[in-house]
Amino acid sequence: MTLIVNGIGLLIIAAIIIWFWLWRARATQATTNAVDIVVANGVYKPDVIEMKRGTKLTLNFNREDPSPCAEQVIFHGLDISETLPVGKIKTIKLTPQHSGNYRFTCQMQMYQGTLKVVDA
Amino acid sequence: MTPPANNTTQLLNIDGAHCAGCVRTIETALRAVPGVSSAHMNLAERTVSIDGAVNSNALIEAVKNAGYSATLPVNVDDYSERDAAERVHAKALRRNMIFALAVGAPLMLWGIFGGSMMVMPHSSSQIEWGALGIVTLAVLIFAGGHFFRGAWQAFIHHHATMDTLIALGTGSAWLYSMEVVIAPQFFPDAARHVYFEASALIIGLINLGQVLELRARGKTSQAIRRLLDLRAKTARVVRDEQEIEVPLEQVQRDDHIRVRPGEKIAVDGEVIDGDSYIDESMLTGEPMPVRKKNGDAVAAGTLNQSGTLLFRATKVGADTALAQIIALVKKAQGAKPAIGRLADTISAIFVPSVLIIAVVSALLWFNFGPEPKIAYLFIVATTVLIIACPCALGLATPMSVMVGVGKAASAGILIQRGDALQTAAQLDTIVLDKTGTITAGKPTVFEIFAADENEQQLLQLAASIEQYSEHPLAQAIVRAANSKRTLPTPTTEFAAHNGKGVSATIDGALIRIGNRRWLETEHIDCSALLASADAIAAQAGTAIFIARDNQALGVIGVADRIKEDSKEAIARLHQRGLRVAMLTGDSHAAAEIIAREVGIDDVFADVLPEHKAAKIAELRAQGRKVGMVGDGINDAPALAGADVGFAIGTGTDVAIESADIVLMRGSLHGVADAIEVSQATLRNIKQNLFGAFIYNIVGIPIAAGVLYPFLGVLMNPIFAGAAMSLSSVTVISNANRLRLLRIGSEREKTA
């Protein structure tokens, strides 16, 4: 019994590490220059977006979650922060000049996403 | 007039309606208007919606005739919509809270007052608790469903959030209890305890926390709301010699707009007719109204006071200074000063770490804890999951920044770069440009000495000639004469002598106006004027000598005067422990006089404009944190080179890229104010971060049971739920305290 419980516990810990930390998301390629992002139930959908450096990208945020957590979206390192209205589309246009991974999150960082900017 | 609308729905705001009876009256009055097919009033929101093909003016008229007043809700900005959405959300949260507490509280009271929370195998308690378990499940689904949905969505996206913690915590408490109910025989006697009340109460408390949070958050955006409220709703546009009131959105560039006393300026423009005083304090923080006449610029959102003005719209919509200010404040409010980065890093890995801590603590209890081990395993895991609060950590910085930036904006201080808020709080040296920063930047006459004691006549004589000169000192004399309403005397043969002065002929006599050296080389005896000239020089003024033919008539002192409150503002900087330096192109002697008068510590004189930035770099190389204050145009490189660049006295011209902080008011008090707000904000952020870190650092181990071996106590999961839901409210409330901050220049206004 002791062995089983401890074993399960360790497996859960391993699963947490693998699932939440080691797993790398496949990016949604910004093939067109616009991506629609739904903000609902604690996640951005899609939450990983890839684009080419120096190109223009339009992100259309559609916030469905009325809780204040979802209210703002902040692009760390890009100096962009916007308030998202509930039930309406908020358009954010950006043209990153440097490649790299930029996280975009809500104020409390519960909503999380990554903008991958790759070299053209 | 506005054309009759096609068959549409229109919304009007109603004032003066307080009872159900009013609703009938207003609706009946509106329905009687030709073209209206229906009218419905919402008493709670004080709005009425009207269907039909009818002109809105006719509707407003009808409401007025019924004894009330109505306005068009033009400019439905983000906030009124947002407020409506928030109201709906708050209502749902309250409903959830009541349901969950209604189930959880009686269960908890039952337990507290000695009721059995245990389940006995093969007894009626199994059925009773089973039924209560189903009710609790209903609470989890209806009042806490959003946590579970959120947790699941996050999970499949490989994220762990706040929802994950709540769903796992309450879910595991329920699951454990349900297992006890179904098969108590598998559990040791002491472990046959149910925790349904914990699940329900935690869900209730967290909903309560979110209601409080929603309310507290509303206040953090007050500053931006105040700015949004400055926008006029309509403007009186003059078209074809007729004044028409049009909604703000329809005003176009080059429209001619009439403003009457007491009305708001709708868009940025240039006065083409009229003369009035305008209160710009809402934008610039400058308390004195500003006189506006032909050719002067007016800014949207400011208030016309006394006269009527006609102005041409130069900037509309998002181009107005007000719109730019709003955009700047919004942007700065979202900025993250460096101090918040650590919290950010931790937030990003927080939830999975808590999950691991929960599992580890559960295992520790299982292996080393007392019996019933299996019960403690679940309780400890639940309590750890529930008490951990990533929200407080994540909110600590942004909430303070939001309120601090807003507070600054209402004092006419615009923070352009988010980091500036933190850097400004850490400055140790302030470098002030002289001209236009410490001084008014405009020479004025401050002393007139006439040998024959007729000062008025001397000024008139000088102005009559100087009116032809472009020199700034000459202009000062002309302005002084104008303000005394003297009339110029006819002159002939005006000539400007480079580096010496000017001359002209009046009534056949040759009049010379210029420096002493020139007059003396022309063999004019100036000795009678020397005492006055020295007095002028002692006040850092320039002495201008006037002579008729070979006789010295008098001397006029012109200087760029120190702004009235410069000395006081510099004293405030000293009080904060800052060293204050002055940077100027003037000679050392002249600079010293000003420096002594206002209390400057270091004087850097004879600095050419192009060397100002180098001087700043030099100070920074000495390890000082330097704030540079200048007008933002001539000083751009120096401003950009400083740790924090302050552009001062920009009025409503706010798009100054080289500055980190724009002070719309001309007074140096703005610098002290900005530093005060920054320091208060930084202090507030530190309090919040400290609180949030300590809360988690202390709370999580206690929840995991570190106190148990020493004191024999273990935290109740319900207590964890209460603490958690209060922690983020506390952070937001502490940030809101910043709104009450009284900055120096406000104190003195009310004193």
Domains along chain A with CATH numbers = 25-118 (2.60.40.420)
Q: Cβ A83–B78 below 8 Å, yes or no?
A: yes
B306 HSE (CA, 13 A, CB side) = 8
Query: Which of B161, B214, B368 is the best mutation test for A, with the most CBs of A within 10 A?
Result: B161
Chosen for mutation from A92, A109, A111, A112 (greatest number of chain B CBs closer than 10 Å) is A109
Is the Cβ pair B82, A69 closer than 8 Å? no
Chain A residue numbers with beta carbons less than 8 Å from the beta carbon of B213 are 68
Distance (Å) from the alpha carbon of B616 to chain A's nearest alpha carbon: 26
Cβ contact, residue pair B352, A81, below 8 Å:
no
Most A CBs within 10 Å, among B156, B228, B331, B359, to test the A interface: B359
A4-20 pLDDT tens trace: 989 999 999 999 998 88
- Confidence check: pLDDT of B76 > 50: no
Closest residue, chain B, to A15 (C-alpha): B356
3-class SS of residue B561:
strand
Which 3 state secondary structure label does DSSP give B469?
A: coil
- Distance CA(B115)–CA(B108), nearest Å, equals 9
Is residue B471 helix, strand or coil?
Answer: coil
What percent of chain B lies above the pLDDT cut of 90?
Answer: 24
Give me the residue from B85, B213, B399 closest to A66, CB to CB: B85
B82·A81 Cβ contact <8 A: no
Alpha-carbon gap, residue B300 to B321, rounded angstroms: 7
CA distance B363 to A12: 11
Residues of A in contact with B224 (CB under 8 A): none
With an 8 Å Cβ cutoff, are A110 and B366 in contact?
Answer: no
Q: Which of B1-10, B38-47, B233-242, B571-580 is least confident?
A: B1-10
Mean pLDDT confidence for B596-609: 88
Q: Which residue has the higher pLDDT, B729 or B189?
A: B729
CB pairs under 8 A between A and B: 128
Set of chain A residues whose Cβ sits within 8 Å of the Cβ of B331:
79, 81
- Over residues B472-476, the mean pLDDT reads 82
pLDDT of residue B75: 45
Task: Say which of B158, B210, B367 has its CB closest to residue A19.
Answer: B158
Which chain A residues touch B351 with a CB distance below 8 Å? 20
Sort B52 into a burial class: Cβ within 10 Å, 0-12 / 13-18 / 19+.
Answer: buried
B249: pLDDT strictly greater than 60: yes
Task: Give the pLDDT band of residue A30 (cuts 50, 70, 90).
Answer: low
Report the C-alpha gap between B252 and B268 in whole angstroms: 11
ipTM of this predicted complex? 0.77
Residue with token string 């990016």: A27
Residue B17 has pLDDT above 80, yes or no: no
- Which amino acid, one-letter code, is at A24? R
Query: Which H or E element spans position B327?
Result: helix B321-333
Q: Would you state the structure tokens that stand for residue B631, as one six-digit string?
A: 């007008």
pLDDT of residue A29: 67
Residue (of B189, B179, B187) closest to B126 by Cα position: B179
Closest residue to B210, CB basis, from A67, A72, A76: A67
Residue B151 to residue A13, Cβ atoms within 8 A: no
Pairing of β B626-630 and β B413-415 = unpaired
B342 touches chain A (CB under 8 A): no
| Amino acid making up residue B207 | N
What is the average per-residue pLDDT within A62-90? 82
Residue bearing the bigger pLDDT, B398 or B686? B686
| B88 interface with A at CB cutoff 8 Å | yes
Which chain B positions have a beta carbon within 8 Å of A47's beta carbon?
A: 157, 159
Question: Which pLDDT does position B454 carry in this prediction?
Answer: 81
User: Nearest C-alpha of chain A: how many angstroms from B634?
Assistant: 27
User: Does residue B710 carry a pLDDT above 50?
Assistant: yes
The minimum CA-CA distance between A110 and chain B, rounded to whole Å, is 5
The neighbour count for residue B372, using CB atoms within 10 Å, is 16
Quote the pTM value.
0.77
- Summary mean pLDDT of chain A: 84
B359 to chain A, any CB pair closer than 8 A? The answer is yes
The alpha helices in B632-737, defined as continuous H runs, are 636-641, 669-704, 708-711, 717-737
Instruction: Give the pLDDT confidence score for residue B74 in this predicted structure.
Output: 46
Beta strands B644-648; B661-663: pairing state: parallel
CA dist., res. B561 & res. B414, Å (int): 27
Smallest Cβ–Cβ distance between A41 and the set B78, B149, B348 belongs to: B149
Whether B82 sits inside 8 A of A85 (CB atoms) is yes
Cross-chain Cβ contact A13/B89 below 8 Å:
no
Write down the pLDDT at residue B712.
83
Per CB distance under 8 Å, which residues of A are interface residues toward B?
Answer: 2, 5-6, 9-10, 12-13, 16-17, 19-21, 23, 25, 40-43, 45, 47, 66-69, 72, 74, 76, 79-83, 85-88, 103, 107-112
What integer pLDDT is reported at residue B4 of this predicted model?
43
Could you say which of B433, B560, B631, B673 is catalytic? Answer: B433
Nearest to A107 among B85, B92, B398 (CB): B398
Interface test mutation site (partner A, options B86, B148, B158, B389, max chain A beta carbons within 10 A): B158
- What mean pLDDT value characterizes chain B? 85
Q: Does B220 touch chain A (CB under 8 A)?
A: no
pLDDT band, very low/low/confident/very high, at B655 (cuts 50, 70, 90): low
pLDDT at B595 over 80: yes
Residue A41 is nearest to which of B153, B363, B399, comparing CB atoms?
B153
Spatial separation of the C-alpha atoms in residues B267 and B301, rounded to whole Å = 7
Q: Which residue of A has its CA nearest to B80?
A: A85
- Asked whether the beta carbons of residue B334 and residue A112 sit closer than 8 angstroms, the reply is no
Catalytic, B15? Answer no
The nearest CA of chain B is from the CA of A8 a distance in Å of: 10
Show residues of chain A in contact with B335, CB under 8 Å.
79, 81
- Whether the per-residue pLDDT at B1 is higher than 60: the answer is no
Q: In this structure, are residues B421 and B401 in contact, taking their beta carbons and an 8 Å threshold?
A: yes
Give the chain B residue whose CA is nearest to the CA of A40.
B150
* B residues 118-147 lying closer than 8 A (beta carbon) to A: 146
- Token output for B578: 């800052």
Across B418-428, b (16+ Cβ under 10 Å) vs e yields bbbbbbbbebe
User: B578: pLDDT confidence band, cut at 50, 70 and 90?
Assistant: very high
pLDDT of A27 above 80: no
What's the confidence (pLDDT) of residue B750? 45
Task: Give contacts of A42 with chain B, Cβ < 8 Å.
Answer: 150-151, 153-154, 159, 161-163
Q: Which has more confidence, B303 or B217?
A: B303
> Is the CB of B395 less than 8 angstroms away from the CB of A86?
no
3-state secondary structure B1-46: CCCCCCCEEEEEEEECCCCHHHHHHHHHHHHCCCCEEEEEEECCCC
Spatial separation of the C-alpha atoms in residues B544 and B554, rounded to whole Å: 8
Task: Assign B600 a pLDDT band (cuts: 50, 70, 90).
Answer: very high
List beta partners, residue B448: B556
Residue to substitute from A6, A23, A67, interface B, most B β-carbons within 10 A: A67
pLDDT higher for B137 or B329? B137
Lowest mean per-residue pLDDT among B96-105, B364-373, B420-429, B616-625: B364-373
**Do the chains contact at A47 and B157, CB–CB below 8 Å?**
yes
Place B45 in a pLDDT band, splitting at 50, 70 and 90: low
What proportions of chain B, in percent to the nearest 5, are helix, strand and coil? 55, 20, 25
Residue B5 has pLDDT above 50, yes or no: no
Query: Which of A21-35, B74-88, B545-559 has the lowest average pLDDT?
Result: B74-88
Mutate: best of B159, B346, B385, partner A, most A CBs <10 A:
B159
Is B369 part of the contact surface with chain A (CB cutoff 8 Å)?
Answer: no
DSSP string, B385-440: HHH--HHHHHHHHHHHHHHHHHHHHHTTEEE-SHHHHHHHHT--EEEEEIIIIIEE
pLDDT of residue B354: 93
Amino acid at B127: I
Residue B6: predicted pLDDT:
52
